[in-house]
A and B are shown apart, each in its own frame.
Chain A
Amino acid sequence: MDTSCCVLGIGSPFGDDRLGWVAAEMLRGRDGGHAVRIDTLDRPGAALIEAWRDERVVILIDAVRSGAPPGTVHRIGIEGLTAGGAALSSHALGVAGAVTLARALAALPAELSFYGIEADPNWDGEDLSPPVRAALPALIEEIAELTRGTVQATPSTRGASK
């Protein structure tokens, strides 16, 4: 049985969209790169499906824009990540589009959860905005706890991050 767990931080180099990358680095620091595969991806689109191939438990981290106050933490289960077929295109395919395509292909992991922090739409700094940075430690703690529980429940035979 595949007992693997991975964390995929999704983002791009600047501003609040760095969130997924920064979170992945912080988790790597805590995990030591031993039990959980931690990877960073740059707007993967449909490539997300290949990125989680063979993984049983997948945790996605990405910045969110929903209109909520900046710094709001979003926790979305697999059922909440759905996009209509109209959202499927080469450049604009987001996480929800990839999940929808994966569902249609029966290529979803057994467990998939999404963690995000609401980005500040007015922030134009190179690094994370203050509200996102402030919300980050608690989120990292929560995800670290989750991965620890997952790994303890199903001891992984996998190595470090690829």
Chain B
Amino acid sequence: MSETRNIAIHVPVLARVEGEGALHLDVRGGRIEALSLRIFEPPRYFEKFLEGRDTAELPDLVARICGICPVAYQMSAVHAIEALSGIDPGPWVRAMRRVLYCGEWIESHALHIHLLAAPDFLGYDNAIAMAAAHSEALRRGLRLQALGNDIIRLLGARSVHPVGVRVGGFHHAPAPDAVAALRARLEASMPEAEALVAWTAQLALPESDQDFVSVALRHDAEYPMNAGRLVSDRGLDIDAAEFDRHFEERQVPHSTALHCRLHGEPYLVGPLARLNLNADRLPAATRRLLDAAGLRLPSRNLYHSIVARALELHAALVEAVALLADYRAPGRPCTDAPVRAGIAYGCTEAPRGILWHRYELDAGGLIRAARIVPPTSQNQARIETDLRADLEAFGLDRPDDALRRRCETVIRNYDPCISCATHFLDLRVTRS
């Protein structure tokens, strides 16, 4: 150990399906000189691909952006188009969209909690290494993930890049017997979701106390998914259309993903931000689990994100069971949306946080321009701020391997799309 030890940790990451990222950390004289979360995945030009396309094609096109949260992209897109069009697809569509979103939250959160985050907190390199000692926990994770996927299949025809969503509603309404069968399975899984909350609450999570801004949607009555105003714990309370007046995307040299700031500052989106702002909107059964877990809100410990995910998974299960009760297929599962020229805004809560869309449409219903601000790009600056604070609290005099593991844990805790890439880390440490 030495106050003057100089460390340069470079974490290059393999190319992968959803993202390429790396971490560079330079420590000199016991202080962090430079720290950057590098995202060097080539731009995918999705926003440009959308130009000239008809809004009818939009749900299927944006679903292709992410294999884990395609529903979120579909939801932000259709809500934007419908808001401009001025239509209300009605209670059946609204309820089924929420069910669909519940499915995505369940599969995404189950996957992250069990296969990606848990090994960090239990001291394993990965889920395979963890399997012998925690087999039943991992099996539970896989069962819950499958359940979420089956909800998406019910309404979207398939669980990856589903195709059931259209502007104005759905292409197809599921048959009542299929709904009843799935609902019975959801109900039967409730004890597993309850056990999951307790399991995450007893994990030996690191202590952390950071001052950060939480941003999420907030709805009058519901835990936010598809609807609500954009709020923060510092007084922000705006419509999605006002996003640009408060949030600014900017290029940074070390990332191909734009950094987004709120009034010039980093902020948090995702499960813990949602929970900090919306705990009073959880279903009663989930609130009881929150109380039993002993999580005090608002939390300033980012590591509580895994507990927040488990609570949200439970809430999604409760909601899906309630929404699918007394199910009846409608006469027509959609409403026609008249074409209108103008600017369309949509913002919904992806599993990883708010996903904001903006489209300029012409009188023929074609997209002239598109902008998509995903949660991972919004969390980038927050992750860098967290890494600095967390590593200094952790102790920069720790061995390089311990620092590397801590960096990975911090990054993965946000469940960014690059989190899976950090499992591929090929660490190179140089000392100067």
Contact = CB atoms under 8 A, between A and B. Distances in A.
Interface of A: 12-13, 42-44, 46-47, 49-51, 85-86, 88-93, 100-101, 104-107
A85 B424 contact: no
Nearest to A48: B142
Interface stretch (B93-101, B158-166, B196-204, B362-370): B158-166
B280 to A, nearest CB: 31
Contacts of A92: 16-17, 420-421
A85 B17 contact: no
Given A46-B111, A89-B116, 11 more contacts: A42-B158, A44-B160, A88-B126, A89-B16, A89-B419, A90-B419, A90-B420, A91-B420, A92-B16, A92-B421, A105-B139
Chain B at the A interface: mostly helix, strand, loop or mixed?
helix
Interface string B15-30: 0111100000000000
Contacts of A12: 160-161
Given A50-B146, A106-B135, A91 B125 contact: no
Given A46-B115, A50-B145, A89-B16, A101 B160 contact: no
B424 A104 contact: no
A91 B128 contact: no
Contacts, number: 80
B57 to A, nearest CB: 15
Nearest to A104: B131
A91 to B, nearest CB: 4
Contacts of A91: 16-19, 67-68, 417, 420
A13 to B, nearest CB: 8
Given A43-B67, A43-B160, A104-B132, A88 B423 contact: yes
Nearest to A89: B420
Given A42-B161, A89-B423, A90-B420, A47 B145 contact: yes
B143 interface: yes
Contacts of A106: 135
A46 B16 contact: no
A50 B142 contact: yes
Contacts of A46: 111, 115, 142, 145
B391 interface: no
Contact of A47 (B125, B142, B161, B424): B142
Given A46-B111, A47-B146, A106-B135, A88 B67 contact: no
Chain A at the B interface: mostly helix, strand, loop or mixed?
loop
Interface string B107-138: 00001100110000000011111011001001
A49 B116 CA distance: 17
Interface residues of B, number: 35
13 contacts: A42-B161, A43-B160, A46-B111, A47-B145, A51-B146, A86-B126, A89-B421, A91-B18, A92-B16, A92-B420, A100-B128, A101-B138, A104-B128
Contacts of A47: 142, 145-146, 149, 159
A86 B67 CA distance: 20
Nearest to B421: A89
Nearest to B146: A50
B420 A101 contact: no
Contacts of B417: 91
Contacts of A51: 146
Contact of A86 (B116, B160, B423): B423
A88 B142 contact: no
A50 B140 CA distance: 10
Interface in B382-432: 417, 419-421, 423-424
Contacts of B131: 101, 104-105
Contacts of B145: 46-47, 50
Contacts of B143: 50
Contact of A90 (B112, B132, B149): B112
A98 to B, nearest CB: 10
Contacts of A44: 160
B142 A49 contact: yes
Contact of B128 (A42, A50, A88): A88
A85 B125 contact: yes
A92 B421 CA distance: 8
Nearest to A98: B142
A13 B129 CA distance: 33
A90 B126 contact: no
A100 B419 CA distance: 20
A42 B159 contact: yes
Contacts of A104: 128-129, 131-132, 135
Interface centre among B18, B19, B128, B138 (most CB of A within 10 A): B128
Contacts of B111: 46, 90
A42 B16 CA distance: 17
